[in-house]
Every structure is written in structure tokens, then in C-alpha cells.
Structure 1
Amino acid sequence: MTRSLNLLSIQSHVVYGHVGNASAVFPLQRLGHEVWPVHTVQFSNHTGYGAWRGQVFDPSLIDECVTGLKERGALARCDGVLSGYLGSAETGEAVLRALREVRVANRSALYCCDPVMGDVGRGIFVRPGITDFMRDHAVPEADVLTPNQFELELLAGFATPTMVDVERALIAVNALRNGGRTHQSRTILVTSLVTDATPPDCIDVLAAHFDGDGGMRRFLLRTPRLDVNLNGAGDAIAALFFAHLLTTNSPAGALQRAVSSVFGVLRRTVQAGSRELLTVAAQEEFVQPSQMFEVRDA
């Protein structure tokens, strides 16, 4: 039986739809994990609509919530910290303060950073200062990273039209570490990956695992390309990949389960013609994906 995790998830939240914590929390709970959500923003809906209401929360909210968890003695039971969209660089600093508190209480806790900064076609869509914060502060602390291809290129500083370029970028991003974590293993998941080797009707997702000595193993999963551009899918993949990685210690297995699950949800969403992910209606996909895609060495 898969062990139940306690995960601290610090990211955005929406009232309507499924992005950020609204996309990440329920799938994890459906798998039997306890999730402690802290919201960096609360909006009426995701910003892809072009109009929304709500507010970016003061970073002190994160500090207050984590202090409360510390006072309850909960941080020692925290298996991992997951961060996503940040409203500001100051919010990111609060996330890292929370991470430090968790690591003091539980040295084996891992940090998954989804470095949300932009995407192909939209470019950078976060506030000034966040890209620098991600590269210089958040990424160096992460045990697990889940950038899309655009974000991988932003962190590496160059384009990745070929798999050779992707490998170079992975090595460059893996080198972004603080001094105390130089010899720690690290896993990087690259979503929405398209290279010259990707068929036009497909899309790739790649997981790269670096051991403590710098050796790298890469795993590739390819799915059909769905005619859809939905917000929140990356948030769900990051959360599921992190949880499956923690429970199985298998990057290949985590890649297969996470992507197969979210593909199933996306397919149901497309069939229904919905603009929002059918996270609840298609929830069985999180437990038992209707189609398991093959993972191969890359």
C-alpha cells in the first residue's frame, strides 16, 4: 500500500476553475495524501480569461501559517514542500523561509519548485523580479524542479530545439545549486517539450535524474497532442509527479503515473468542451489512469 504523505503546498488559488492549489490539492487528496495548502493569491478565476478579481496576499500570511504549523508540531511530519505561482519575489522569500523551517524540523523533507514564469506563445507573464528570484534563489534550493520547456530555456539562458540542447540545458539548470546542496540528488521534469525529434501530432515530457555525483539518467514519455490549451494542467502534473516520486523513488514511474493521469483528465475535458479542467468529474484518472503511456530511456 502506498504510504500517505503530508505535503505543504504554497501557490495560487482560484475560486472558479482549477489552477494552482485548486488544481494540485484535490488530486493529491484523492490519492490519500494530506495537503496543507497556503495560498499566495486568491483570484476569482485564472488570469487567462483576461479579467479577474481578487488579491495577491501579503507574504506575512505564509509566515503566519507556517508559524502556526510549527506551534502545532506539524512540521516534523511534513514530507515535502511544493511551490508554484508566486505573486511577487517577496512571496518567494517567504516560501524559502517556510522551507527552512520544514528542513529544520525534518531533514529528509524535499522541496519541489514549479518555477512558474511563462510559456511558449505568452512569454514571461510574472511580475518583474520573479525570474531572477527563481534562478538565483528558489531553483538552487530545489530537490525537484518542474519547468515547462520555455522555463527551462529561461533558466538555462538558451533555446532547446534539439535533444542535445535539452541535455545541455538540464546540465546547466542542475548546476544552479547553493553550496550546501552541491552533492544532493535532483530530479527535473520538463513538460510541454517539443524538439526536432517530436512528431507534429505529439508532445513530450522528460524526466532527468541527477545522482549526487552528477550522473544523469533521462526518461521520455510521448503523448498525442490534444487540441486544447488549458490552464492548470502543469500544476496538476507537478503535484502528482512530486507525490509519486516521494512514494516510489522512481522518476520513470512518477513520470508515467503523473502524465498518464493528467492526459486522461485533459482528454475528458476536451470531449466535454470545457474551458476548465474536469478535475472532479475525471477524478478516477488520478487513481487509475485509463491509458498508461510508455516511458523509455532518452
Structure 2
Amino acid sequence: MKILSIQSAVAYGHVGNSAAVFPLQRIGVDVVPVYTVNFSNHTGYGAWRGPMIDPSDVREVITGIRERGIMPQIDAVLSGYQGGEGIADVIIDAVAQLKAENPDAVYACDPVMGNAKSGCFVAPAIPDLLRDRVVPVADIITPNQFELGYLTGTEPADLESTLASVDAAMAMGPSTVLVTSVERPDRDEGTIEMLAVDGKGAWLVTTPHLPMKANGSGDVTAALFTAHYVGTGDAKLALERTVSSVFDLLQTTLDADDRELRLIEAQERYANPRMQFAARQVR
């Protein structure tokens, strides 16, 4: 499998492509990374250095890749944090070019905007751009519960309302939705959930809620789910593999008392997930 991953990059820490590429490689995916920013560290520190890459330069890199004749080999495009609003057009055009050369390829969009605790942390134009232009051309989206609500203009809370929000998102274009950080009011105390929905059904998986904040964990989640789903076509299996790997990555990071993901130390859990969490069908 080959994935074109258009995301941010940081020198220190693991977010964007700096979080997604290695886990994908560890499960056997050939990754073609294209960078949208080249920062010293993620923006969660409140200070960083380095450039936001001009959209015309990102487009040039993708054009050069296309000129090498590899587009027909690419199975999926993956995108995450969009530093500036001009990147959206570059991604949309890349997806169109890819599908013209490989109609079976899919586009997986992680519509990064923010979360319920922090609110939106992207440029003001980005959420509407994602909702109105990017998500409609995506095949797979991987929002958290907060982002799902923004995209659809709904308030997902319990399972029923979250599924209704997913249906609204799928009506916009995507055929598969992974909802991360699902926090139903009636869930068991000390747990958090993840929900995967496609045309075959909906599956929910529950894990312990680890007491930590880990920048980049959503990027790893989106990457692994995309690869597992594209490779198997099985949303339940892709969900279980992804959750198993990401939980062990977070547990490894928590045990190390580290702010940055222990991406390298947890690598065996990407290649050989323990499958310790079973998803249940909820629709």
C-alpha cells in the first residue's frame, strides 16, 4: 500500500507527518510525505519557529511527485492540520488528479479544528473551509466529537445523537466516518470511546480514559485507521486494530511521564496490535 500524506512536520516531537509516517511504515505502508509546515515543535508549546510552507511550494512538490508517474500506485491521500487556508485547494486538486489516474484511490481527511476543552485552535477561516469544500470531497473523515458537531451543525452527545451527526456528515459526501474522543454522558466512568461507521454498519469501542493530553495522537489514529480500513475494507477490524495500537502508545507515553508521544518505543504495538479491545455493533 502507498499513501500520499499531506501534513505538517516538526523537528521536535510527533505531530502531523512527524507522527503519522513512522507508524504507517511500521505496518508496511509506503508513505509519500508532503509537508505543509516545517516547525521546530508543535504549536501546543505556545512558541515555535520555522516556516509555514507556501501553498504554491506544496503544489510544486506534488506536481513533481506526479511527474515521476507514481500517482496510479497511490491508494490513498491523507491530510490533517492545514496551517493556512490556501492548502485546501492544493489538497483538493491533488485528490482530483489522483482519482483521475487511479479511480480506486480514496481521500482520508482528518478535519483538525480543535476539541471540546480548548475550542478551535486553527486559523478562523479553516473550519468553514473544511466543512464547505474539503469534507465534501473526502471518502473517509476522522473528526473528534467536537469537530463532528461543528461540521454538521449538530450537538452530538449520547450515542443516538452522535450517530445522527455521523449520518449528517455522510450526507455531505464521505462514506466512512471515524469519530474519536466520544464522551457519552451515559458511558462507564473513567472510559472514552471511538465510533466507526460505514455503509455496512456502526461499531463502538470503549477503552480506559488515560489522564493525559498527547499532541499527535489524533494524527496517529487517523493514519492507522486509514491504512487498516483501506487495506481490509472492514471498519470493525480497522477500529479494533487502531484503538489497540493507539491505547498502547498513550500508555507507553504516560508511563514515561513524557509530554511528547513515545512513538518509537511503542512501535511493536503498531506492527502487532494486542487486540485487547473488542468493538460492538451499535447499528
Q: CA–CA distance in 1 between the matches of 2:71 and 2:106? A: 12
* Pairing 1:85-104 to 2, within 5 Å after superposition: 85-104=81-100
Matches of 1:276 and 1:290, distance apart in 2: 23
TM-superposed CA distance for 1:6, in Å, is 0.7
Structure 1 residue 257 and structure 2 residue 241: aligned?
A: yes
Equivalent residue of 2:51, what SS? strand
CA RMSD of aligned residues (A): 1.1
The residue type equivalent to 1:144 in the other structure is I
| CA deviation string 1:211-255 (max 9, x = no partner) | xxxxx6110010001011110001001000000011111000000
Q: TM-score, normalised by structure 1?
A: 0.92
CA distance in 1, matches of 2:6, 2:15: 13
Which of 56, 63, 73 is the matching residue for 1:60? 56
Contact 1:62 1:98 in 2 (8 A): no
Provide the identity percentage.
Answer: 46
Report if the CA contact (8 A) 1:62-1:95 is conserved: no
Distance 1:290 1:258 in 2: 10
Q: Distance in 1 between matches of 2:273 and 2:229?
A: 17
AA partner of residue 152 (structure 1): L
Structure 1 runs (4+) greater than 3 angstroms displaced: none
In structure 1, what is the equivalent of residue 179 of structure 2?
190
Tell me the amino acid that sits aligned with residue 171 of structure 1. D
C-alpha separation in 2, matches of 1:282 and 1:175: 37
Question: 1:226 maps to which residue?
Answer: 210
> 1:203-214 to 2 correspondence within 5 Å?
203-210=192-199
1:276 aligned residue (222, 236, 260): 260
Match of 1:129 in 2: 125
2:77/2:106 contact within 8 Å kept:
yes
Q: Is the 8 A contact 1:264 1:291 kept in 2?
A: no
Classify the secondary structure of the residue corresponding to 2:86. helix
Deviation at 1:292, TM superposition (A): 2.1
Number of residue pairs aligned between Structure 1 and Structure 2: 282
Report what 1:19 is aligned to: 15
Distance 1:258 1:161 in 2: 23
State the 1:207 CA deviation.
0.2
Name the CA distance, whole Å, in 2 between partners of 1:290 and 1:208.
22
Do the aligned partners of 1:85 and 1:116 also contact (CA within 8 Å) in 2? yes
Instruction: Give the Å deviation of 1:291.
Output: 5.0
Which of residues 261, 280, 289 is equivalent to 2:273? Answer: 289
Q: Give the structure 1 partner of residue 229 of structure 2.
A: 245
Task: Find the aligned partners of 2:41 and 2:65 in 1 and give their Cα distance.
Answer: 28
Residue 106 of structure 2 aligns to which amino acid in structure 1?
L
- 1:139 is displaced (CA, Å) by 0.5
The CA distance in 1 between the partners of 2:204 and 2:159, in whole Å, is 11
SS of residue in 1 equivalent to 2:211: coil
* Amino acid paired to 2:205: L
